[in-house]
């Protein structure tokens, strides 16, 4: 064990001191924090006032477009030809031209602009005209518009999870779906990234003949386990640093750069307004109480999620899945002389991971189904699929069985990989195939 610890220490210290590790440890949190900061920054900078001139030949839409803090509509007392000719000097964002048609109401219009209008403005204009035209048609048909409005009903569906003993707990399916898929995807990325690192490490040391010196002092199994565990600790260190630095960067930005309470409220109001404009949902503006209740439900659902269980499960399945696949990556790295020869052996390893990621969307739709159950207990797919299921709540039996089988799968793959490793690590100049690997397994 002492020699294994020495190899773990060597692998860990060597890799955390590399420039690539330091650069990625710094760059990773910056990129992840940018996903939170840049949208907020852009939304603040893009909230400049826009004025749209209206040339309405029908006279129907004189007061139908509502203004807000960032969007103003102005009726132009000129024809469309004059308006286009003076557009550059008018400081207008765009010109909305509503032509007069032979029918009682127009069914098309044109938006002139020297820039590409954003989708929110286009949807608002389209839906406003549509609503007014529909209202005119209803009046022409003798149908009371208020009756149609009274028929429309919005149904709010809340979900309550009943635990053992009848205890009620608020839940949110969409939130569980998001957490599960993100956790599964992160495990998929980490297994591939750090497993490949193990394989390349052995190929490099084998090519440089450094491994011959190491084998003279330690057993092949000790070398393999030391490198696998050492790189696992490197990955775990980098992941923890990413999380800490990401939250630190976001927290510093929120503290020092403008995301104050008033700004947050303004941004939220603009988001609500833009959503309502894009959907032409005037009724939603009158139902802010219901929107607030939905937000409160989401907050309650977030509070109800046991993040301690999710984090511990993530760490276990990340480490367990990595150790399972890293042993196979190590066997491939020991069997070949260069990275080009690894392609034929990578397919059997990558197929279970790819299948897990593809099946994750079906497991999200039915986390308690038979497909979800079997994929979450099979060791080669359980690290990803079980993390997808856990936010929905997993029976203790399923979780226990999955953990036991994953540990057993790791021990089995390590045993097989060790048999290949001890022969292949000192094999040079020979093209290895599956038949040759089978012989090594029977030695």
> CATH second-level architecture of 50-143?
3-Layer(aba) Sandwich (3.40)
Structural contact between residues 8 and 228, judged by C-beta atoms closer than 8 angstroms: no
Q: What global pTM score does this model have?
A: 0.65
Residue 385 is given by DSSP the state H
Q: Is the dihedral of CA 241, 247, 250, 254 positive or negative?
A: negative
Structural contact between residues 242 and 32, judged by C-beta atoms closer than 8 angstroms: yes
- The DSSP bridge partners found for residue 55 are 97
| The two three-digit tokens of residue 316, written as one number | 């276990």
Per-residue pLDDT of the chain (443 residues; tens, 9 = 90+): 778 888 888 878 888 888 888 888 888 888 877 776 776 666 555 556 788 888 888 888 777 888 876 788 888 888 888 888 888 888 888 888 888 876 566 667 888 888 777 777 888 888 888 888 888 787 777 777 777 777 777 666 666 666 666 666 666 677 778 888 888 898 998 888 888 888 887 787 777 777 777 777 778 778 888 888 888 888 888 878 887 888 787 777 767 665 444 444 444 445 444 444 444 444 444 444 544 555 565 566 566 666 778 888 888 998 899 889 988 888 888 788 777 777 778 888 889 989 998 998 888 888 888 899 999 999 999 999 999 998 888 888 999 999 999 999 988 888 888 888 777 777 776 777 778 778 877 77
Helix (H) or strand (E) holding 254, with range, is helix 220-256
- The DSSP bridge partners found for residue 97 are 55, 110
Q: What's the pLDDT score for residue 286?
A: 44
Q: Give the residue extent of every domain in the chain.
A: 50-143, 172-442
User: Which residue in the block uniquely carries the two structure tokens 């044109």?
Assistant: 110
- The DSSP bridge partners found for residue 54 are 75, 96
**Spatial distance between the Cα atoms of 21 and 27, rounded to a whole number of angstroms:** 10
| The two three-digit tokens of residue 430, written as one number | 């020979």
Helix (H) or strand (E) holding 19, with range, is helix 19-45
**Spatial distance between the Cα atoms of 305 and 240, rounded to a whole number of angstroms:** 21
**Spatial distance between the Cα atoms of 186 and 134, rounded to a whole number of angstroms:** 49
**Spatial distance between the Cα atoms of 150 and 432, rounded to a whole number of angstroms:** 75
Q: What's the pLDDT score for residue 407?
A: 92
The span from the first CA to the last CA of the chain, in angstroms, equals: 25
Q: What's the pLDDT score for residue 294?
A: 55
Q: What's the pLDDT score for residue 379?
A: 92
| The two three-digit tokens of residue 209, written as one number | 């003949």
What backbone torsions phi and psi does residue 162 show, to the nearest 5 degrees? -95, 115
């Amino acid at each position: 064990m002492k020699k294994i610890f020495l190899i773990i220490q060597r692998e860990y210290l060597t890799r955390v001191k590399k420039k690539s590790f330091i650069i990625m440890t710094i760059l990773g949190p910056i990129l992840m924090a940018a996903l939170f900061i840049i949208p907020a920054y852009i939304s603040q900078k893009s909230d400049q006032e826009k004025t749209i001139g209206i040339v309405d030949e029908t006279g129907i839409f004189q007061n139908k477009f509502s203004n807000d803090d960032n969007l103003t509509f102005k009726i132009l007392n000129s024809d469309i030809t004059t308006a286009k000719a003076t557009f550059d000097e008018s400081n207008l964002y765009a010109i909305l031209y509503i032509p007069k048609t032979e029918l009682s109401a127009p069914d098309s219009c044109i938006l002139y602009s020297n820039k590409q209008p954003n989708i929110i403005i286009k949807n608002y204009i389209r839906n406003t005209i549509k609503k007014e035209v529909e209202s005119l048609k209803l009046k022409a048909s003798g149908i009371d518009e208020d009756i149609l409005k009274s028929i429309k009903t919005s149904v709010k569906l809340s979900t309550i999870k009943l635990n053992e003993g009848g205890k009620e707990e608020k839940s949110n399916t969409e939130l569980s779906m998001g957490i599960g898929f993100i956790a599964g995807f992160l495990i998929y990325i980490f297994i591939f990234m750090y497993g490949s690192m193990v394989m390349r490490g052995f190929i490099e040391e084998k090519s440089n003949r450094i491994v011959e010196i190491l084998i003279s002092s330690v057993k092949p199994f000790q070398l393999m386990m030391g490198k696998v565990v050492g790189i696992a600790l490197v990955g775990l260190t980098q992941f923890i640093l990413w999380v800490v630095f990401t939250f630190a960067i976001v927290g510093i930005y929120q503290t020092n750069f403008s995301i104050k309470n008033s700004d947050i409220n303004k941004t939220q109001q603009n988001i609500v307004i833009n959503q309502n404009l894009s959907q032409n949902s005037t009724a939603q503006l009158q139902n802010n109480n219901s929107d607030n209740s939905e937000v409160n439900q989401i907050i309650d659902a977030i509070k109800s999620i046991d993040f301690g269980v999710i984090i511990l499960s993530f760490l276990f399945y990340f480490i367990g899945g990595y150790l399972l696949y890293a042993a196979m990556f190590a066997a491939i790295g020991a069997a070949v002389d260069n990275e080009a020869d690894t392609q034929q052996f990578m397919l059997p390893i990558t197929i279970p991971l790819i299948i897990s990621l593809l099946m994750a969307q079906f497991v999200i739709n039915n986390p308690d189904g038979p497909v979800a159950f079997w994929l979450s207990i099979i060791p080669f797919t359980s690290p990803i699929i079980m993390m997808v299921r856990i936010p929905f709540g997993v029976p203790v039996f399923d979780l226990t069985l999955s953990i036991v089988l994953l540990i057993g799968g790791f021990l089995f793959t390590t045993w097989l990989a060790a048999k290949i490793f001890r022969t292949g690590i000192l094999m040079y100049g020979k093209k290895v195939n599956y038949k040759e690997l089978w012989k090594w397994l029977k030695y």
